[in-house]
Amino acid sequence: MIFSVELSARAKKELRKVPSFIALKLQDWIEDVEERGLEEVRKIPGYHDEPCKGEMTGFRSIRLSRGYRAYYTIQRSKIEFVRIERVDKHEY
C-alpha cells in the first residue's frame, strides 16, 4: 500500500501560480492518500483518477477542477510513494 506523497520541484513551483482553491484540493488529496492509501483514494469518484495517454503515458492524473490536473507517477524504492510531477491548466 502507498501512503506517502512527494512533490517535485516543478510541482512546487507550479503550485505557487495556481488559484488557492486548487492548491487546497491537491492538499486534500495528499492527506487522503497519507491517511487511507492510494488504492482507496483512487476509488473516490470526485478525483477522477485515471491513466494518461499519448505523450503522458506512464503518468496518472487527478482532476483538481474542470481546468486543472495534477499528474503523478508511482516511484519504487525501499518505500513506494507517489510523486506529483506537475500541476497545470488542462487543455481540452
Total tally of structural domains belonging to the chain:
1
* pLDDT at residue 91 in the model: 63
More confident: 55 or 91: 55
Q: Which domain holds residue 19?
A: 5-89
Give the residue from 24, 30, 66 showing the smallest Cα distance to 48: 66
> What are 26-84's pLDDT values in tens digits?
999 999 999 999 999 999 999 999 999 998 898 899 999 888 999 998 887 655 567 78
- 27's enclosing H/E stretch is helix 20-36
* pTM score of the predicted model: 0.85
Specify the CATH number for the domain of residue 37. 3.30.2310.20
Question: What mean pLDDT do residues 7-13 have?
Answer: 88
Question: What mean pLDDT do residues 12-26 have?
Answer: 91
42 φ, ψ (degrees, to nearest 5)? -60, -25
